[in-house]
A and B are shown apart, each in its own frame.
Chain A
Amino acid sequence: MNTLAQLFFDAASLGGIYAMAALGIALIFGVMNLVNFAHGQYIAFCVFALIVPSTDAVAVVFLGRAPAFLLIPLLLAVGAAAAVASEYAVFRHMRKATPVAMMISSFALGFVIQNALLATYGGRPKAISLWPELNTPVTVIGASVPLLQVIVILTTLIVVAGLALLLKKTRIGLEMRAAAENFTMARLLGVRANVVITGAFALSGALAAAVALIMATQTGVADVRMGGQIMLVAFIATVIGGLGSLPGAVAAGFLIGAASVLLQAYLPLDARPFRDAFLYTLVIVSLLVRPQGLFVPSSAKPRV
C-alpha cells in the first residue's frame, strides 16, 4: 500500500544515497575539474572489500564480520585509500592534461577496476548478509518503513552537515574552497596542491564507502555491475545540480530519488520496466531547459 508517508521515506532514502554518491563526484570536480567516471567503481570496490575473494555464489563475509563501530571507520578508510591510490596512480600524472583527457582516463580506470573485480570475484552476483536486522520495519509517522531507510536519511543529513562544517570551518576546508574557485591563486598563497587534491579524493572515497555500506545492506547483493548503475545517476545528479556545486549535487540527488520513486509508483504497470528511460529523458529535458543546472543562478557562467 503506497501511503504518502511511505513514498516519502522511499524517496528520501533513495535520494540520500544518490545525494551522497553525487557529492563524491562534485567534490572532485569542484577542486580539479575532473569528472571521475571511476567513482562508481570505488563504491563497488568497497562492497567487494567486505567479502572474501572467490567466485562462489554465496559470499563469505570477511571484513563484513567486524562489529559496526569497527567496520564503518574501516570501510571508510578503505574507500579513502582506494580513491587516493587511484589519484597517485593515474590522475597525479595528468595535472596538466585537458579535462576531457582526464575524463576519458577516469572512464578507463573505472573499467579496469570493474574488470579487476570481475577477475577476482567472478561475474555472478553474490549474496551478502550485512546487518540484516536493519531491514526490519519500524513505524514512523504512521508508515511502516525498514529501519535502514531511516538510518540512510539520518546518515545523509549527518554527512551533508559534517561536510559543510568541514568545508566552512576547517583549514583544509578553506583551502579546498579557495582551490575550487581558483587553483593557481590558491597555490600562490601557499596552499599545497597535493594536500588539497589528496584530501578531496580521500573524502570522495569515504563517501563512496558510505554508499557501499548502505547498498550492501539494502540489496544484500554484491554485483560487479553495481558500480556502473549508481555512477550514472550520480553523474546526472551532478550535472543537473550544476557541475561543481555541492549543494546542487545534494539537491539534485534527492530530486532524482524522488522522481524515480514517483515514477515507480505511478507509472502504468506496463511502463514500469522503462522507468529508468523515463527518468533519463526527464533529465535531458531539464538540461534543455536549464543547461547550467537547476540549482545554479542563471547568471552563473558555465564552469567548463
Chain B
Amino acid sequence: MSRLGVFDVSVRYGKVPALTDVSLNIGEGERVFISGPNGAGKSSLLKAISGAVPTAHGRIELDGDLLTGQSPEAIARLGLSMVPEGREIFGRLTVEENLRVGTGIRRDADAVEGDIAEIYRAFPILAERRHASAGALSGGQQQMLAIGRALMTNPKLMMVDEPSLGLAPKIVDQVYDTLVALQEERGLTLLIVEQSSVRAGRVGGRMILLRGGKVVGEGDAVAFADKDALTEAYFGKTGKEAAE
C-alpha cells in the first residue's frame, strides 16, 4: 500500500519549469532518497508535496488523502512533516518553544508531553538548552532541533531536505544515525533529499534520481553509489561516451 503517491506533477516558477511530469510512490515505512545535480528539482519536489509551492498540474496523495491544492497547514494536519533545507528554525524562540510550534494540531496533551520527553531523550543537547534561544545553537544542534520539531507533529511521513548541508561529516553521521533510529522506533516513512549518493548508499534505502526536473533513475541506493551508474544518470549515456 503506497503511503505517498505523486502522479505526473509539474512545477513552474513563472515560465521556468522546475519539475516536469514527475511520478513516484513511497510505501509505508520506506526510506527513500532523492538525489541529483543542482537545479534538478529536488527541493521543488518536496515543496510541491508539502504545499509550499503550487503545482502546475498533477496529483499528490498521502494515504489516499489529496494533497495538491491544499494549504501547507492542511497538509501538515494530514500527517506530512517537513525539515526544510537550511533548517529554518525559529531563532527568536527558545528550543522548547520551537518544539511546541507544531503541537497545535494534536489533541492528545499527554502524548504531546510524552513526545517532548522522548525528543529530549534522543537529543540530550536540546534538553540542556531547552530554554535557550534557538538561534544560539550550532548547525548540527539546529538540525537536531529541526528534526525534533518536525516529529512533534506526529507525522506519518517526514521529508528532510539536505540534512547534510553545511554540517561536518561527523555531525552528519550523527544526524543520520538519529533519523534511522527514530524511523525504526516509530515506523516513520522517510523521504530524504541527499546530494551525496555515496552517503545515501551508506545509509541504505531506495534512491530516485532527478535531473532537469525529470526522474532519470530509480533503484537501490547502494547501486547508485557506484560512480559509473551516477555518471550515466547525471550526464546520460553520451556523457560516458563523450569522456572516452
Q: Do A181 and B104 have beta carbons less than 8 Å apart?
A: no
Stretch from A31-39, A67-75, A185-193 that touches the partner: A185-193
Task: State in angstroms the CA–CA spacing of A185 and B90 once bound together.
Answer: 9
Within 8 A of B (CB), among A137-185: 171, 174-175, 177-178, 181-182, 184-185
Inter-chain contacts of B101 with A (CB < 8 A): 174-175, 178, 186, 189, 191
Inter-chain contacts of A190 with B (CB < 8 A): 73, 76-77, 102, 104-105, 153
Given A175-B101, A189-B101, check contact A184 B72 (CB 8 Å). yes
Given A177-B92, A178-B90, check contact A188 B100 (CB 8 Å). no
Q: How many A-B residue pairs have CB under 8 A?
A: 63
Task: State in angstroms the CA–CA spacing of A108 and B22 once bound together.
Answer: 44
Task: State in angstroms the CA–CA spacing of A254 and B51 once bound together.
Answer: 43
Size of interface on A: residues with Cβ below 8 Å to B: 17
Inter-chain contacts of B72 with A (CB < 8 A): 184, 187-188
- For residue B187, CB closer than 8 A to chain A, the reply is no
- For residue B71, CB closer than 8 A to chain A, the reply is yes
Q: Do B73 and A181 have beta carbons less than 8 Å apart?
A: no
Size of interface on B: residues with Cβ below 8 Å to A: 25
Inter-chain contacts of A184 with B (CB < 8 A): 52, 72
- For residue B91, CB closer than 8 A to chain A, the reply is yes
Question: Which residue in B52, B77, B93 is a CB contact (below 8 Å) of A178?
Answer: B93
Task: State in angstroms the CA–CA spacing of A189 and B93 once bound together.
Answer: 15
A180 nearest CB neighbor, chain B only:
B92
- For residue B30, CB closer than 8 A to chain A, the reply is no
Inter-chain contacts of B149 with A (CB < 8 A): 189
- For residue B97, CB closer than 8 A to chain A, the reply is yes
Within 8 A of A (CB), among B55-110: 71-73, 76-77, 81-82, 84, 88, 90-93, 97, 100-102, 104-105
A189 nearest CB neighbor, chain B only:
B102
Inter-chain contacts of B102 with A (CB < 8 A): 189-190
Task: State in angstroms the CA–CA spacing of A224 and B188 once bound together.
Answer: 60
B92 nearest CB neighbor, chain A only:
A181
Chain A residues near B (Cβ < 8 Å): 171, 174-175, 177-178, 181-182, 184-193
Q: Apart from A190-B77, A190-B102, what 17 extra A-B contacts exist at CB < 8 Å?
A: A174-B101, A175-B101, A175-B104, A177-B97, A181-B90, A181-B93, A184-B52, A184-B72, A187-B52, A187-B71, A188-B72, A188-B76, A188-B84, A189-B76, A190-B104, A191-B101, A191-B104
Instruction: Please list 25 pairs of residues, one from A and one from B, whose beta carbons are closer than 8 Å in the complex, sorted by A's number.
Output: A171-B104, A174-B97, A174-B100, A174-B101, A177-B97, A178-B101, A181-B90, A181-B93, A182-B88, A185-B88, A187-B71, A187-B73, A187-B76, A188-B51, A188-B73, A189-B76, A189-B81, A189-B153, A190-B76, A190-B77, A190-B102, A190-B104, A191-B101, A193-B71, A193-B73
